[in-house]
Amino acid sequence: MKQIIKLVKGELQRLQKYNVTLISLIVALIWVALLYFIDDPTIFGLLLPLVVILDVTMMSIMYTGAVMYYEKSENTMYSILITPVSHQDIIFSKVIANIIHQTISTSLVIVAFILIKDISISFSIVFSMILAIGFHTLLGFVFTYTAKDFTSMLTNFMFAMIVLATPSILIFMNVFEVSTFISYLLLISPIEQVTVMISSAFSKTYDISFFLSIVMMLTYSGILYKGYILPKFSIYVQKGSGV
């Protein structure tokens, strides 16, 4: 446990060193500024959850990729090879640090509007954000592993997000309606799972879709970690160190 705490502290320091913390705070302030001038309660009620959804998904992936490529460019991967900690501990520390960092950043937006516009949100928003950030941090590992450089990582990531997020966002914004069968089928997508969890926290209504989303995201996280991220981490580290 002490080793994990030390590693998490180091990851948080790296987030600050690479200005990721500063950027996330600036992004949070931009979200607050944009939403502050929306007076229509219906539009605001749609956009605030959408901002939270995008923040805990897209930003989590981007920040993970950014930090890992900074580490790669500075050849810190070589030190990972000789450090007396397991790859599992290193991965966990990155996930935990990103959860802490991103949860604080997104929470600033939520708290701002709790104070400014007196909105009410279920405490389940915290659990939903932590779960979503954790999974999408793992997904950030996948995009980093499979890309040659940060630019190609962003390209692959944006393409995947457009494909996966567009249906969920359009349905959430009430652009079109779908049948109950289609809504359950869409839960295959992690973006839809996050959309259901976050929107449930805002509406304070919990149906079978909410609990299915939690189970599926936990399942996805376990499969992704055990089946791909941990086994491929050694190869990624060796590639980054030039071994």
SS3 sequence of 72-138: HHCCCHHHHHHCCCCHHHHHHHHHHHHHHHHHHHHHHHHHHHHHHCCCCCCCHHHHHHHHHHHHHHH
230, burial (CB in 10 Å: exposed 0-12, middle 13-18, buried 19+): middle
Rounded to the nearest 10 degrees, the angle between the axes of helix 150-172 and helix 60-73 is 180
Q: Which of 211, 166, 171 is nearest to 193 (CA)?
A: 211
Tally of domains within the chain: 1
E strand spans, the chain: none
- What does the DSSP 8-state code read for residue 226? I
Res 240 pLDDT > 60? no
Confidence of residue 37 (pLDDT cuts 50, 70, 90): confident
Res 180 pLDDT > 90? no
Domain membership of residue 84 as a residue range? 2-241
Distance linking the first and last C-alpha atoms of the chain: 30
Q: What pLDDT is stored for residue 242 in this prediction?
A: 44
Q: How far apart are CA 10 and CA 13, in angstroms?
A: 5
pLDDT tens-digit readout, 121-136:
999 999 999 999 999 9
pLDDT tens-digit readout, 51-101:
999 999 999 999 998 888 888 777 776 666 676 788 899 899 999 999 999
pLDDT tens-digit readout, 92-120:
999 999 999 999 999 999 998 888 887 88
pLDDT, greater one: 100 or 38:
100
Q: Which amino acid is at 119?
A: I
Asked if residues 187 and 212 have their Cβ atoms less than 8 Å apart, the reply is yes
Q: How far apart are CA 194 and CA 52, in angstroms?
A: 10
- What does the DSSP 8-state code read for residue 240? H
**What does pTM read for this prediction?**
0.92
The DSSP element (H or E) to which 22 belongs, if any, is: helix 20-36
Confidence of residue 239 (pLDDT cuts 50, 70, 90): confident
Burial per residue of 95-109, b for 16 or more beta-carbon CB atoms within 10 angstroms, e otherwise: bbbbbbbbbebbbbb
